[in-house]
Structure 1
């Protein structure tokens, strides 16, 4: 037999996704390339690894056994690579981070340079709502978390990264002509909320309560992307983080409605449990962010300051 590690990787991904198309997408390959490698791999066995029923691919019992062996081989290869990097003095291991959903527009820019510098580091980043982020931090499941509202129930240290600005946003067809509206405009608008536990929702509700606004909740949705699409479609209005709507503002499908007292400004902060014993990777990452955050903000978020 003369199969390659590349063929093992492709076959394992096919068994995991049960789809040649999805396997190709996750491996960043073309579908024909994956099909060819599967065929070449199959030619080295007398027993079928897969079978097609209708238009769906199924893994045979023999194929499942080969997949288990392939996974073990690939894990061993990865271990060898990591040992090699360790002997070269490179950082090796896993960096674990949990971030609130809107943080996906922020955190990758503070990670890309570090990951390029340290190819032996594996990133595990959980993008979820604020409640789950705090839970993972409290249970010491992660090295760091990214939040826009500090958790009052946890004793944490923090590194502030940048401002988080939230504006009232409507679709491009919204009929608003004034330069600035009074806060009572909220009483006339159907508002779209994020789900319970969301940091954006908490910020929005605090603003409404603090200003004693009789707001009308029209819709509740479970992601920033869902809220964005609902606003674009004209279902209502929402207070949204500027960081997540740059492309839509540039494309003209969303518009900021100027209101006195807005934007609401909070801080994106990377937090960790006070007294946490850092791994070498976590320690190196924290130092990296401290040294480079100003440069990253200037290079990646210079557009941000034009919105006041």
Structure 2
């Protein structure tokens, strides 16, 4: 095994195959032909002397050796991407790219802040990837973005997570519902109601189920809907009740009522997340320094966390 036989292109091809799970999709992403990608993979496999990929349910996934090679390639290519960005910054000021992975609920808050960030740093190319928690968690595991925004961050020694904003979860009902303006109600009083819930793995659903479990309760009638907007509309139409982020509700115009129950709203936060095992890019550091003052300037103080000003110190201790 001679590292002189490796090339950046081989590693880039392998990364694309692992991230897409498909030779054909990797070929389209890299603007190569499928045979070219297959040849590159064979060269890499011959060099390693071990199988690098396995097929699981029609999707290519790394073998044990392949997973180690993927991590090494992420480190190598990430280091040189940082070097390239450093050179660009030295020539043209603050420039380069910044990739963010954020959960869907955060799309109501982050874009206006990013617009201001772009005005202040016009040479930084922003890449915004929005998805549900499972999708953003997958991007985190594959190190596909520089920074992440979760309402329920992943666990593990490689995770660096700090609170960014309050994200209370509120219970809503359609106008005219019998529980509106009723005081002293508990969740047990709503046991016969239909609840509209997000997909398994959703942070909102995880928090709701954890809260119910602490009271020995389980929802009896549920309907799964994989969109906050669709849930808001469905509640307004009388299809059921739902627990949603206060930010999600503020962004909507549908007529819904907030119910006052013991223990609600549920206390929740959004977290800014990075990987401890990957060096932060200069553009990510720039955004981290930018966020505290901008959040304080543009958002209601009720949403802000008390330790927001410490964010740069937590992520950038050497700065």
Scaled by the length of structure 2, the TM-score of the pair is 0.63
Which residue in 2 is equivalent to 1:102? 105
Partner of 1:269 in structure 2? 271
Q: Distance in 2 between matches of 1:235 and 1:166?
A: 19
Residue aligned with 2:267, SS = strand
- Counterpart residue number, 1:205: 209
Instruction: Return the alpha-carbon distance in structure 2 between the equivalents of residues 184 and 136 of structure 1.
Output: 38
Equivalent of 2:172, from 169, 187, 194? Answer: 169
122, 125, 128: which is aligned to 1:122? 125
CA RMSD of aligned residues (A): 2.3
Residue equivalent to 1:245:
249
Distance 1:87 1:275, change over 3 A: closer
Once the two structures are TM-superposed, the CA of residue 145 in structure 1 deviates from its matched residue by: 0.7
| Equivalent in 283, 286, 299 of residue 284 of structure 1 | 286
Aligned to 1:13: none
Counterparts of 1:144 and 1:217 in 2: how far apart (Å)?
Answer: 37
From 96, 99, 105, the equivalent of 1:93 is 96
Aligned counterparts of 1:244 and 1:180: Cα–Cα separation in 2: 26
Measured after TM superposition, the shift of residue 244 of structure 1 is: 0.6
CA distance in 1, matches of 2:90, 2:153: 40
Q: CA deviation at 1:217?
A: 3.2
Are the structure 2 counterparts of residues 154 and 198 from structure 1 closer, same or farther at C-alpha, using a change threshold of 3 Å? farther
Q: Kindly indicate whether the alpha-carbon contact (under 8 Å) linking 1:172 and 1:252 is maintained by their aligned counterparts in 2.
A: no
SS in 1 for 2:294: helix
**CA apart distance, 1:214:** 3.3
1:186·1:214 contact (CA, 8 Å) conserved in 2? Answer: no
Distance 1:274 1:88 in 2: 29
- Is it true that 1:186 corresponds to 2:185 in the alignment? no
Given that 2:166 and 2:303 are in contact with CA atoms closer than 8 Å, whether structure 1 keeps it comes out as no
User: Deviations 1:197-253 (Å, cap 9, x if unpaired)?
Assistant: 2111111111121111131233101111111111111110011111111154xx570
In 1, distance between residues paired with 2:197 and 2:107?
19
Change (3 A) 1:143 1:225: same
Aligned to 1:73: none
For this pair of structures, how many residues does the alignment match? 217
Aligned mates of 2:190, 2:208 — CA distance in 1: 11
Check conservation: 1:166, 1:241, Cα contact below 8 A: yes
Counterparts of 2:190 and 2:217, CA distance in 1: 7
State the alpha-carbon separation in 2 of the partners of residues 171 and 90 from structure 1: 52
Partners of 1:252 and 1:96 lie apart in 2 by 33
| 1:62 alignment partner in structure 2 | none
1:76 corresponds to which residue?
none
Whole-Å separation in 1 of the counterparts to 2:254 and 2:202: 27
Aligned equivalents of 2:270 and 2:135: distance in 1? Answer: 17
User: Which structure has the bigger radius of gyration?
Assistant: 1
Judging changes above 3 Å, is the alpha-carbon distance between structure 1 residues 140 and 252 closer, same or farther for their aligned structure 2 residues? closer
How far is 1:195 from its partner? 0.7
2:232 aligned with 1:228: yes
Distance in 1 (CA, whole Å) between partners of 2:141 and 2:254 is: 41
Contact map agreement 1:169 1:237 (CA 8 A) in 2: yes
Structure 1 residues 121, 231: CA separation in 2 closer, same or farther (over 3 Å shift)?
Answer: same
Q: Which consecutive residues of structure 2, in runs of 5 or more, have no partner in the other structure?
A: 1-84, 305-319
SS at match of 1:213: coil
Question: Is the CA contact 2:171–2:242 (under 8 Å) kept in the aligned structure 1?
Answer: yes
**Structure 1 residues 131-170: aligned runs within 5 Å:** 131-153=134-156, 155-170=158-173
